[in-house]
Structure 1
Amino acid sequence: MSKLRTLMAGAAVAAVCVTTASAADIAIIGGKSDDAFFAKIAKGITDATLVVEAHGGTVNYLQLQTYDNIGGDAANLVRTAMSQNVDIIAVPNWVPDTQDEAIKAAMNAGIAVILYNAGGGEKAAELGAINYIGNEEYPAGFAGGKYFAEHGAKHVICVNTVPGSGNIEDRCRGLADGMAEAGVTAEQLPLPASSFGDPTAVAEAIKATLLGDDTIDGVFAISSADADSAYTAMQQAGKLDSVQLGSFDMNVAGLERIRDSEQLFAIDQQPWLQGFLAVTLADGYVNYGLAMATSPLLTGPGIVDLTNIDATLAGGEQGYR
């Protein structure tokens, strides 16, 4: 027994040494603090930070303050992370034309990069990033277009409140192609970037569009907040019975609408997983050389509708879905 205790004590000391010797300094860049979608990513980051701190490391979450200049501001946050001498940066590549230069500069300075949430696997391979974690936007939009068409929609508008953002443009393009495959139509409704986060402005724009075109029978929102605004617009326009609502992402209100048959579906990309995996994989890569054999590492898309609403709503009420 005494020999066993000695061996166990030695193993415990070794484990402590490994834990305290490893230390990854991680910077992760994300959206606005009042963005409901990024609140779920932030929850994943917070949970993953416990793992990093257990290994003696740190996580610095750098957030955009507005979405008025999303690509330029994200590039500047990459430069901020570089100035902090971090080991690795996890960043969405929302606007590649603006962000690629900063990401390449970080990698040239010896800082590893993981793309997450926006950018895709091909862009990660092009830049030499470790991996991409998240949704592939075009296929997700395509799936939404097919779902709309399968449920009778013939003319859908994709409400884009962040025009110029590559991932959102891909969502709307995928939607249009998915519907076109079935011989029906989708078109983009681009709104000023300043409308993002302004539910009244978004609702008024959708309402005016619906009232101006009776052929529209579907609205596709790019976020859960915009889906709330779209529902308000449909109510005010008297279109709840003639227009179907679909969205990327979801909140509890959206999930309750699906449960109550007031919203057709939502496309889930599991943002909590994106934040959690971006941080834990960054930690494992820096400390132990761990990397996933699968690239990209997809967290979506998944369709949430009446068939799986109960389990999803339970996760939404706890801030995970």
Structure 2
Amino acid sequence: MKFTKKISAALLASVALATLAAPVLAADIAVIAGSANDAFFNRIKKGVDDATLVIEANGGSVNYLTTQNYDNFGPDLVQLINTAVSQGVDGIAIPVWIAESQVPALKAAAEQGIKIMMYNSGADVKDDISGINYFGSDEFVAGEAGGKYLAEQGAKKILCHIHVPGAVNLETRCDGVVAGAEAAGAEVVRLPTPASIDSDVTGTSEALKAELLKDPSIDGIITLGAWSADAAAVAIQQSGRPVKLGNFDLSPSVLDRIKGGTQNMVIDQQPYAQSFLAATMLAAYIDFGIDLPTDPILTGPGIVDATNIDAALAGVEAGAR
């Protein structure tokens, strides 16, 4: 995978903040994230934990706020925003997943002087909420790369599984998969499953298997999370026929399958970098007036497959990828 020099420079600049003299302001910030039951946010949490060391070294604080689940996602995110505001934070680092719910609440926060830094999702609404910068992947471009990859590997009809229907980042990923696959001559069908079975490997596996049995022309699956790739792998095995598999976001099981030849690829957006950079640069903006001229700062996509699998394994084992 190729990593941008700009991201490396930003990381070094953020870590260097810990060696600076005490600031006039000590930033107290909130970082808002998805469900703690979602394994993706383990990497987000590690990035926040490491950023906290930098921020606390300068006299600030970090409050990490997560939703319970995704059943009432939009309103729950608004409640977290309101909680952060009520705590008197100086800044909020947050993805925008449900724009119609989050944008009004974030606008109100910004009007009170709270600084907003974005990561992971919602770059297109950054100006609407007076966001400072965005750290993350371009979801459409990432999906496009995944759809193109599977089509070029021979898939003719690809199932794109959406585990939280309506979440803008997931819907945009699937839009990209459609564009990339169709440009390479393949067809894409979408399968949204209820948010109530998010992270339910067994329930999701049954839903995916039902689609494979109903439509034998499906020869590729791309899931939008690592846990759902586990569900897809089970569904493919139980269907009894070869189906190419790809997904977004790394995990040990995903990489084990790539290493073993039972999964084709995974799209990495580097969530650790997203949250670490968003938190440290939000604090740097508040404390020191530091802003980066590059906007947005992309942390992906990068495709991991059999050609570079070994280079990705150490980072996953350390909990950072």
Q: Which runs of 5+ in 2 are unaligned?
A: 1-17
Equivalent positions of 1:1-321 (< 5 A) are 18-19=21-22, 21-120=24-123, 122-239=124-241, 242-321=242-321
CA contact (8 A) 2:136 2:300 kept: yes
Following superposition, the deviation at residue 211 of structure 1 comes to 0.8
The TM-score with structure 2 as length reference comes to: 0.92
How far apart, in 2, do the equivalents of 1:87 and 1:195 lie? 36
Following superposition, the deviation at residue 140 of structure 1 comes to 0.6
CA contact (8 A) 1:195 1:201 kept: yes
Alpha carbons of 1:16 and 1:313: their partners in 2 closer, same or farther (altered >3 Å)? closer
How far apart, in 2, do the equivalents of 1:112 and 1:297 lie? 18
> Deviation per CA, 1:143-176, whole angstroms, max 9, x where unpaired?
1011011111110001111001111000111101
How far apart, in 2, do the equivalents of 1:294 and 1:156 lie? 35
Among all aligned residue pairs of Structure 1 and Structure 2, give the percentage whose two residues are the same amino acid.
Answer: 49
**SS state of the match for residue 103, structure 1?**
helix
CA contact (8 A) 1:207 1:234 kept: yes
Matched to 2:287, the amino acid is: N
CA RMSD of aligned residues (A): 1.4
Following superposition, the deviation at residue 21 of structure 1 comes to 4.6
Alpha carbons of 1:318 and 1:282: their partners in 2 closer, same or farther (altered >3 Å)? same
Q: Which has the larger radius of gyration?
A: 1
Following superposition, the deviation at residue 182 of structure 1 comes to 1.7
How far apart, in 2, do the equivalents of 1:153 and 1:17 lie? 53
Greater relative contact order, per chain length (Cα 8 Å cut-off, separation 6+): 2
CA contact (8 A) 1:285 1:291 kept: yes
**SS state of the match for residue 293, structure 1?**
coil
Q: Which runs of 5+ in 1 are unaligned?
A: 1-14
How far apart, in 2, do the equivalents of 1:253 and 1:306 lie? 14
The TM-score with structure 1 as length reference comes to: 0.92
How far apart, in 1, do the equivalents of 2:185 and 2:20 lie? 63
How far apart, in 2, do the equivalents of 1:203 and 1:17 lie? 51
